[in-house]
């Protein structure tokens, strides 16, 4: 008697053994459980990085003094900018930006050092390519930070401030909690973790179901002495157990490749991930019961999975969405799993804080699995 038969009974164990053997013989399905999730997590983590650095900076230095060269040195040594070339006029600088040779330009006026030495204001100009508004805003923040730091060390008033002579100076010292290095990859990978679990869970379950229907083996299952419940459990359990290996693989990549700290109880993340997988299997089963071919299933999943991903807050913060759209994300299980993952791993939060998010995940999973079981029973009937 096999191990599965001892654990789950003779009939259920035999059905589950059949499912495992079918998955093992299907090399494409077995490969899709390992290679695509790994590549997707790596690509999302490295490619969807909001940090922008090494922007090419063009220089128009009309002063050619010690302080102008010191400002240029500070701009290029910050890591945010690299020297993209020197130009003789603002027109040449603007033309270089329009041609895409450089990303930004710094114009230092005549008498820059003389004005500063006499206590006057001197205005420098930053030209930014705003075709990509996000890059332009980040470059502006970089340049303002460099100028503020340069002003602080040079003990002069910031160039963009109105002329005033305060007796004291307020210095802002920010403290970044939970992510001191402002590593944007931590936000990306902890968000896409749930997206990959649900996406692959739904795709694999629907593909497995449709392939068995096309092979005609679902009708053969009705001829066995197994009950409908045992057939449904035997279809879902092997996929769930195999997808749990994907959970372990993803958490390993998150920890050792991207360096995300594990400050809380990892079991909470694994429990939420298991609910996400079950949710994805339920969605995939529902899609398979409404379609007749793999092409129809892929087309239908296109109208289900992308909206769930976009409205999850995995890649962009929910706060950046329109106010009327933000309440819709509350019924998205991926949003709640993202909150759980980030809170546990980065903040060390526990169940006493995250129980509302777990409750939504459990409710959504039960509803989807119940609906998929009902649809599958109806199909078997």
**Percent helix, strand and coil across the chain, each to the nearest 5:** 65, 5, 30
The predicted structure's pLDDT at residue 369: 87
Instruction: Examine residue 178 and state whether it is found in any structural domain, yes or no.
Output: no
Q: Which residue has the higher pLDDT, 336 or 376?
A: 336
String of DSSP letters for 43-89: HHHHHS------EEEEEEESS-SHHHHHHHHHHHHTSSEEEEEE-SS
- 107 and 198 share one domain: no
Euclidean distance between CA atoms 26 and 38, whole angstroms: 19
Q: Residues 143, 251: one domain?
A: no
Rg of the chain in Å (alpha carbons): 29
Note whether 9 and 68 are same-domain residues.
Answer: no
Residue 315 pLDDT greater than 80, yes or no: no
pLDDT at 320: 74
Confidence of residue 59 (pLDDT cuts 50, 70, 90): very high
- Whether residue 230 lies inside any domain: the answer is yes
Task: Work out the pLDDT band at 278, boundaries 50, 70, 90.
Answer: very high
Residue 161 has pLDDT above 50, yes or no: no
pLDDT at site 325: 86
pLDDT beyond 90 at 74: no
Mean pLDDT value of segment 320-324: 82
Dihedral through CA 273, CA 276, CA 281, CA 287, nearest 10? -150
pLDDT digits (tens, 9 = 90+) for 11-37: 666 767 766 776 667 667 667 666 777
**Structural domain contains residue 108:** yes
**57 class by beta-carbon count within 10 Å (0-12 exposed, 13-18 middle, 19+ buried):** buried
Average pLDDT value for the chain: 80
Average pLDDT over residues 145-151: 82
* Residues 273, 127 share a domain: no
- Same domain, residue pair 190 and 307: yes
Tell me: do 234 and 364 sit in the same domain. Answer: yes
Give a yes or no: residue 9 inside a domain: yes
170 occurs within a structural domain: no
- What is the mean pLDDT of the segment spanning 151-159? 57
In a domain, 176, yes or no: no
- Looking at the predicted structure, is the pLDDT value of residue 223 above 60? yes
> pTM, whole model, 2 decimals?
0.73
Considering 154, 173, 192, which residue would you say is the last residue of a domain? Answer: 154
Q: Residue 227, Cβ neighbours under 10 Å: how many?
A: 11
| Percentage above 90 pLDDT, the chain | 16
The domain boundary, picked from 106, 137, 154, lies at 154
User: Do 35 and 60 belong together in one domain?
Assistant: no
Q: Which of 154, 174, 199 is the last residue of a domain?
A: 154
User: Average pLDDT for residues 240-249, to the nearest whole number?
Assistant: 86
Q: Which comes out higher in pLDDT, residue 81 or 172?
A: 81
* Domain of residue 327, residue span: 3-48+183-380
235 in a domain, yes or no?
yes
For residue 2, what pLDDT band results from cuts at 50, 70 and 90?
low
Same domain, 120 and 207: no
pLDDT tens digit string along 323-365? Answer: 888 898 899 999 999 999 999 998 888 999 999 999 999 999 9
- Which position has the higher pLDDT, 381 or 202? 202
DSSP per residue over 83-129, as a string?
A: EEEE-SSHHHHHHHHHTTS-SEEEEEPTTHHHHHHTT-----EEEE-
Q: Are 68 and 92 members of one domain?
A: yes
pLDDT at 271 over 80: yes
pLDDT band at 166 (very low <50, low <70, confident <90, very high): very low
Q: Are 32 and 64 within one domain? A: no
> What is the distance between the alpha carbons of residues 40 and 250, in angstroms, rounded to a whole number?
10
Residue 236 has, within 13 A of its CA and on its CB side, a CA count of 23
CATH of the domain at 146: 3.40.1710.10
Pair (202, 310) in one structural domain: yes
Residue 183 DSSP SS3? coil
Q: What is the pLDDT of residues 171-209, one digit of tens each?
A: 445 666 688 777 878 888 888 899 888 888 888 888 877
Q: Is residue 249 part of a domain?
A: yes
Q: How many domains does the structure of the chain reveal? A: 2
pLDDT for residue 1: 44
Average pLDDT (215-229) is 66
**Is the same domain home to 208 and 337?**
yes
pLDDT at 262: 92
């Amino acid at each position: 008697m096999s191990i599965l038969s001892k654990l789950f009974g003779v009939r259920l164990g035999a059905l589950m053994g059949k499912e495992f053997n079918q998955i093992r013989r299907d090399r494409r399905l077995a490969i899709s459980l390992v290679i695509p999730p790994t590549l997707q997590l790596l690509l999302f983590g490295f490619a969807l990085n909001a940090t922008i650095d090494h922007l090419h900076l063009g220089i128009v230095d009309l002063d050619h003094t010690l302080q102008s060269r010191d400002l240029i040195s500070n701009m290029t040594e910050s890591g945010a900018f690299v020297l993209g070339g020197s130009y003789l006029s603002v027109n040449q600088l603007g033309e270089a930006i329009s041609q895409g040779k450089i990303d930004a330009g710094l114009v230092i006026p005549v008498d820059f050092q003389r004005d500063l030495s006499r206590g006057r204001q001197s205005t420098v100009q930053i030209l930014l390519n705003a075709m990509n508004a996000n890059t332009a805003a980040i470059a502006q923040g970089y340049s303002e930070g460099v100028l503020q730091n340069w002003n602080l060390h040079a003990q002069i008033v910031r160039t963009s401030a109105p002329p005033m002579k305060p007796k004291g100076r307020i210095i802002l010292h920010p403290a970044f909690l939970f992510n001191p290095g402002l590593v944007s990859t931590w936000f990306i990978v902890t968000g896409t973790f749930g997206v990959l679990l649900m996406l692959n869970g739904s795709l694999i379950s629907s593909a497995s179901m449709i392939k068995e229907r096309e092979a005609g083996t679902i009708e053969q299952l009705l001829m066995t002495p197994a009950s409908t419940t045992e057939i449904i459990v035997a279809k879902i359990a092997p996929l769930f157990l195999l997808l749990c290996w994907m959970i372990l693989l993803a958490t390993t990549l998150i920890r050792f490749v991207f360096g995300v700290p594990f400050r809380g109880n990892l079991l909470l993340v694994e429990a939420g991930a298991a609910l996400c997988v079950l949710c994805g299997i339920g969605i995939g089963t529902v899609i398979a019961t409404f379609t007749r071919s793999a092409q129809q299933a892929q087309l239908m999943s296109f109208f289900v999975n992308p909206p769930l991903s976009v409205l999850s807050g995995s890649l962009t913060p929910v706060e950046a969405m329109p106010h009327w759209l933000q309440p819709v994300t509350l019924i998205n299980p991926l949003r709640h799993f993202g909150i759980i993952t980030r809170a546990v791993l980065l903040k060390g939060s526990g169940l006493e804080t995250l129980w509302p998010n777990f409750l939504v995940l459990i409710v959504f999973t039960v509803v989807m699995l119940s609906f998929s079981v009902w649809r599958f029973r109806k199909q078997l009937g």
